[in-house]
Structure 1
Amino acid sequence: QACGSVGPLEQHEYTQHRLWSLENGPNRSQSSVNLILESSDKDLKLWPCKFELRLSISVSPGKLTIMSSVTNTGNKSFSFTFAMHNHLLVSDISEVRVEGLETLDYLDNVLHKTRFTEQADALTFDGEVNRTYLNTPPKIAIIDHGKKRTFVLRKQGLPDAVMWSPGDNKASKNIGDDYKMMVSVNSAVFEKPIVLKPFQVWTGFQEIATVSSSYCSGQLDPINIIS
């Protein structure tokens, strides 16, 4: 997502509906791929700023790593927001809790971005949830009690995090009860857009790893666990 709902471009779809290029094609010995997206003439009509977006995606047992970079290739500054959308398979949304968000401010997107402070020691999902947590820590734990599994999200350069589950009413129009087997936890830059001067580069990093259900975000160091 670039610019999204806080800028002039469409939310979610700006980069999803573009044709990316492979920097180098993967072979059987590789578990990574490098993708490039450059602004086109069509893009410049919608948003007159030249850029290059790169994604480096690597997969290893129990771990997904994504490095992103945006380069301002034009002659004037621009600003943008950014998000990596992660849809995680879970046993049931009612069995999921997210740790690492306690006492943080968040914008409730269901309530027209009203600002609140998280009072609970963990986020659970009962009905529709669509929140943008601000200035989040570099690691967040998504604990699935049903599968006895925890996703550990580590990130850099992406200070915010969006938590989303559509709930019964909204899901019934699109995916039905299957929504209960998914939770969306997105690494993002939202509250303070990134500003790039000509030829400046912004980078963002995220890693999602699975660990045993004994993991607790406040007790263990995920760097040691994941490695």
Structure 2
Amino acid sequence: MYNTKSISNSFPTIRVYLYGGQVTSWKNNSGEQQLFLSKKASFKPPKAIRGGIQICFPQLGNHGVLEQHGFARNRLWSVDESPPLPDTTSDCHIDLILKQSEEDMKTWPHSYELRLQVALSPRGDLILTSRIKNKNADGKPFQFTFAYHTYFSVSDISEVRVEGLDTLDYHDNLQSKIRCTEQGDAVVFESEVDRIYLSAPPKIVTIDHEKKRTFVLRKKELPDVVVWNPWDRKAKAMPDFGAEEYKCMLCVGAARIEKPITLRPGEEWQGRQEISPVPSSYSSGLLDPEMIQQMQRI
């Protein structure tokens, strides 16, 4: 098993694996796990770790000769010894870096630096900041897409709703990526869902009715949102996923998919995802005052 790094701000804790540069655990003040990690997850190459927060670069999905969701999630990262100045006031963070390997150059012939900062805010929010820089010496630009494939732990998928995506267009990966429009006031789950919502607002809310917990996701330079649950049939077909585990997880993550990023040599792109878990209840569309205050926070 590859080395892990843990960071803690009082009681909230995060565990990060160097394999995949992946957050696999995030516990709140009460020691409650916020992220889903499959009991069947593999921690050895070439499989990515099933759960936590996967870094999908330089693509999401399966295109061309690259691995599914790109190679960043199944490479060994290093601790960044010379990180840039943090964009957070938190002094509780870890910085990782991934550079091209000879193996990567065979399928994606570009020189790059991918930096990831994982931070805990003083109140326990989880903040991920990624920086990608074009280091090509031949003057060539490169293009990529990016996603934080975030697996939330939920009580019961049938009791979860995602708000903030109403009226948006999305690509439905279950229907050959056709473009559809969200008709409901919230996304609810009664069967498999695999969608990329386009040009979403900067704040998305995932409400877990049974746990009375809400995840408020804020994002920057990541206009799209990935929403995924495999449901029963696909769950049974995945060797690194329990047959019944689809009931207690949901992927909602910030992404940049519809409009790929192009970087010229020397240019850098930065994207950010921040998640705040807040107590909530849901009754006739009314949210707890504390949650509303959290959502309005800048």
TM over 0.5: yes
Does structure 1 conserve the Cα–Cα contact (< 8 Å) formed by 2:60 and 2:257?
no
Aligned to 1:94: 158
Give the residue type in structure 2 aligned to 1:4.
Answer: L
Aligned counterpart for 1:72 among listed residues 134, 157, 160: 134
Whole-angstrom distance in 2 between the partners of 1:186 and 1:113: 18
Aligned to 2:167: 103
Q: Is 1:63–2:125 an aligned residue pair?
A: yes
Whole-angstrom distance in 1 between the partners of 2:144 and 2:70: 14
Shift of 1:12: 2.3
Shift of 1:6: 6.5
Aligned counterpart for 2:272 among listed residues 177, 202, 205: 205
Whole-angstrom distance in 2 between the partners of 1:16 and 1:133: 22
Q: Secondary structure at the match of 2:292?
A: coil
Query: 1:200–1:7: structure 2 CA closer, same or farther, 3 Å change rule?
Result: farther
Aligned to 1:112: 176
Q: Secondary structure at the match of 1:210?
A: strand
Report % sequence identity: 49
Shift of 1:11: 2.1
Aligned to 1:16: 73
Query: 1:147–1:223: structure 2 CA closer, same or farther, 3 Å change rule?
Result: closer
Aligned to 1:52: 113
Does structure 2 conserve the Cα–Cα contact (< 8 Å) formed by 1:35 and 1:55?
yes
Structure 2 runs not aligned, ≥5 long: 1-55, 83-90, 282-286
Query: 1:4–1:150: structure 2 CA closer, same or farther, 3 Å change rule?
Result: closer
Whole-angstrom distance in 2 between the partners of 1:155 and 1:43: 28
Q: Is 1:145–2:209 an aligned residue pair?
A: yes
Aligned to 2:225: 161
Give the residue type in structure 2 aligned to 1:48.
Answer: P
Whole-angstrom distance in 2 between the partners of 1:47 and 1:173: 30
Whole-angstrom distance in 1 between the partners of 2:81 and 2:113: 16
Choose between structure 1 and 2: higher strand proportion.
1
Whole-angstrom distance in 1 between the partners of 2:263 and 2:252: 26
Aligned to 1:33: 94
Whole-angstrom distance in 2 between the partners of 1:59 and 1:47: 33
Query: 1:221–1:199: structure 2 CA closer, same or farther, 3 Å change rule?
Result: farther
Does structure 1 conserve the Cα–Cα contact (< 8 Å) formed by 2:59 and 2:69?
no
CA root-mean-square deviation: 2.1
Aligned length: 221
TM-score normalised over the length of structure 1: 0.91
1:174-213 equivalences in 2 (<5 Å): 174=238, 175-213=242-280
| Greater relative contact order (CA < 8 Å, ≥ 6 in sequence) | 1
Whole-angstrom distance in 2 between the partners of 1:7 and 1:167: 24
Choose between structure 1 and 2: higher helix proportion.
1
Does structure 2 conserve the Cα–Cα contact (< 8 Å) formed by 1:24 and 1:33?
no
Q: Secondary structure at the match of 2:76?
A: coil
Shift of 1:57: 0.2
Cα deviation code 1:169-209 (max 9, x no counterpart): 11122321121010001111101100001110000001011
TM-score normalised over the length of structure 2: 0.70
Whole-angstrom distance in 2 between the partners of 1:191 and 1:13: 16
Shift of 1:13: 4.7
Q: Secondary structure at the match of 2:75?
A: coil
Shift of 1:31: 3.0
Give the residue type in structure 2 aligned to 1:130.
Answer: D
Deviating more after overlay: 2-11 vs 81-90 = 2-11
Shift of 1:40: 1.5
Aligned to 2:88: none
Give the residue type in structure 1 aligned to 2:264.
Answer: K
Give the residue type in structure 2 aligned to 1:69.
Answer: R
Cα deviation code 1:49-99 (max 9, x no counterpart): 111000000124441100001000112101000000110001100010000
Q: Secondary structure at the match of 1:37?
A: strand
Does structure 1 conserve the Cα–Cα contact (< 8 Å) formed by 2:62 and 2:69?
no
Does structure 2 conserve the Cα–Cα contact (< 8 Å) formed by 1:90 and 1:96?
yes
